[in-house]
A and B are shown apart, each in its own frame.
Chain A
């Protein structure tokens, strides 16, 4: 209740929160990059109180607010007086969006273990650190703040991706982290893969038709390699971009040069921009030599995108990482087997095991979790064309996939599993291409049903481990897509912690078909097996498989090999149907 003279608040030693009523009210201007508001507050308020007012006025959460005055960050426990904030002065405000939180590394994460707690409760009693899937997913991730902080209520995957892009752009370190990730590097070092992915983008294809130089460029492996080298070395990239930049601006000063430039822009860059923006929110080719760039700061946007899709591929690997802990010390549910190579998870990679840097960032992890919780998101994701591209490329490139495996620390400790995975790999990749499996994946109800089955199976395992040996290894290999949506969606409380040993000894991962306890289940299982068996028909790449058909198609005049291939894959090799597809008369 001390009366503050207000003239020398800096000397004020009273740091307790005072009732506002007894002090002078001052008007402080709060300025954000976009906005400015005047807020009346008691002179001796604490920063926390101030933030409360601010959060009301700016409609943001209090913990998203960061106040800066005179170059100092105002902490909640301080008072305004401590910092010398007086009437009429301006305080700067930054409202943290999800992006920045993701970057704060684990700080926010460790402070927010509650979601883990929440999902942990259904598990009830089990003191085991690795109960069932849901909490394990979260525990495996280590920090979940990303979930709420990522704040993405929207199921729009594109937005998500764009946010990731923004994150990337604003933090060059992240980029170098990504680049250093061996997974990414291995992808990059395969020019064919890159090329495929780029080329498979339909807008790119259009663009290529209009501008054959682009396809030349793409087809030039040297150039691609160089580009990828560049991508790996951001400093070099910037250098090159700057050079290009300068060269281009010099062009302008030549008479008629401006027009040439402009033409170049409208013909090439714009369509690419919009093509890219639709899909990736960016110009994918700013890094490819010969084309105009936009700004020197974001040259490496291009290659970033390539690694990004990767973690989406096996979205809920960790979801599938049912514990089975077997008491692994690492909470990163590195317990294998669980990462059931399901349809949605052909590589059986858990996101957490993808390694350092970006992939482990809370943002990413929370994304995983979000995906697992939101089937819609999953659907959007899968329907993203480049996703399909990604999968196709992977399918056609078993090498990459196996590389991915070997790099996967998850499997590192379990060569047996590794072997198994490797063998089953082509099969899985095939499945990915099977349109049926895709449609199953995109059907949330189907997913949920599958998940329930899987859970039932798990329960079964623990209840009757004796059944395990009798389970069909091959069946599992079919990759039952049980994994995808474990979290939150339908957590059945009665899921006791599947004891470690249960799945581990069995060569097959967790969701193995139960033997006969539940005939309905069994039948369903068999049906599923058959469905996937259909996709298992051949382990060759579709190109090889359809070699003959492709030739027929091209003889008929369908020269677009990529489209042919896709049509053939979609129709399972049926030429006539493929033709109809190509002619656009069939809805895909």
Chain B
């Protein structure tokens, strides 16, 4: 809030498929994204909306950074917005790997804060995967998996059965 009324907004994109996570799980979803603004990184995971230092998740620094523009929204308003989201559509249990995941969150936040969308290839990723016969078959299984960038995947199978 100190540097005037305009804040940079960036999108951090992590290519998860390159990392260990891929080996540990049959995760085909390649990208995790988060929005970085006010010097903090915000993303949505199995635990709900989380924030940390930019590049502070276990995934380290992003593979690519996209500049989403600027925003005038002050930080406390943004926090307010986030807390509404936390209570409604972005509660931890609402995480769905394909349909309501970190990228959904990044997209929505980006829309809110800058009015621009994130690159479409990211948002279209799940539907691409699902379109393949393989993806389709795996869907029920994948439904029960949550990616939490803070570390490893947590398999919720016990919770679901």
**Chain A interface (Cβ within 8 Å of chain B)?**
32-34, 66, 68-73, 90, 92, 94-97, 99-100, 103-104, 166, 169-171, 238, 242, 245-246, 249-250, 252-253, 258, 262, 294-297
From A69, A99, A242, A249, give the contact of B80 (CB < 8 A). Answer: A99
Identify 9 new A-B residue pairs, CB closer than 8 A, beyond the known A71-B73, A94-B77, A295-B50: A71-B72, A71-B116, A73-B73, A90-B111, A94-B81, A100-B79, A104-B76, A252-B152, A296-B52
Q: How far is the CA of A94 from the CA of B71 in the complex (A)?
A: 15
Q: How far is the CA of A533 from the CA of B51 in the complex (A)?
A: 54
Contact present for B114 and A245 (CB under 8 Å): no
Q: A104-B76, A295-B50 are in contact. Are A33 and B115 (CB under 8 A)?
A: no
28 A/B residue pairs, CB under 8 Å, sorted by A? A32-B84, A33-B84, A33-B89, A34-B88, A68-B73, A70-B114, A71-B69, A71-B71, A71-B73, A71-B115, A92-B111, A94-B80, A94-B84, A97-B80, A99-B80, A100-B76, A170-B82, A171-B76, A246-B58, A246-B150, A249-B152, A252-B152, A262-B158, A295-B47, A295-B92, A296-B47, A296-B50, A296-B52
Q: A71-B70, A171-B76 are in contact. Are A245 and B81 (CB under 8 A)?
A: no
Contacts of A104 in B (CB 8 A): 76
A65 to chain B, nearest CB (A): 11
B90 to chain A, nearest CB (A): 8
Contacts of A97 in B (CB 8 A): 80
Contacts of B89 in A (CB 8 A): 33-34
Q: How far is the CA of A99 from the CA of B77 in the complex (A)?
A: 10
Contact present for A245 and B154 (CB under 8 Å): no
Q: How far is the CA of A169 from the CA of B111 in the complex (A)?
A: 24
Contact present for A296 and B150 (CB under 8 Å): yes
Contact present for A246 and B151 (CB under 8 Å): yes
Contact present for A73 and B47 (CB under 8 Å): no
Q: Which residue of B lies closest to A171 (CB)?
A: B79
Q: Does residue B148 face the partner (Cβ distance < 8 Å to A)?
A: yes
B140 to chain A, nearest CB (A): 20
Contact present for A96 and B47 (CB under 8 Å): no
Q: Does residue B83 face the partner (Cβ distance < 8 Å to A)?
A: yes
In the complex, the 7 A-B pairs of residues with the closest C-beta atoms, listed nearest first: A70-B115, A33-B84, A71-B114, A71-B71, A34-B88, A100-B80, A33-B85
Contact present for B80 and A250 (CB under 8 Å): no
Interface membership of chain B positions 19-52, coded 1 if the CB is closer than 8 angstroms to chain A and 0 otherwise: 0000010000000000000000000000110111
Contact present for A68 and B80 (CB under 8 Å): no
Q: Which residue of B lies closest to A241 (CB)?
A: B150
Q: Which residue of A lies closest to B7 (CB)?
A: A71
Contacts of B154 in A (CB 8 A): 249, 252
Q: Which residue of B lies closest to A248 (CB)?
A: B151
Contacts of B97 in A (CB 8 A): none
Contacts of A90 in B (CB 8 A): 111
Contacts of A252 in B (CB 8 A): 152, 154-155
Q: A34-B89, A104-B76, A295-B47 are in contact. Are A249 and B70 (CB under 8 A)?
A: no
Contacts of B47 in A (CB 8 A): 294-296
Q: A73-B72, A296-B52 are in contact. Are A66 and B77 (CB under 8 A)?
A: yes
Q: How far is the CA of A104 from the CA of B158 in the complex (A)?
A: 44
Q: A171-B79, A295-B47 are in contact. Are A245 and B115 (CB under 8 A)?
A: no
Q: Does residue B141 face the partner (Cβ distance < 8 Å to A)?
A: no
Q: Does residue B145 face the partner (Cβ distance < 8 Å to A)?
A: no
Interface membership of chain B positions 81-104, coded 1 if the CB is closer than 8 angstroms to chain A and 0 otherwise: 111110111001000000000000
A361 to chain B, nearest CB (A): 12
A351 to chain B, nearest CB (A): 22
Q: How far is the CA of A94 from the CA of B154 in the complex (A)?
A: 33
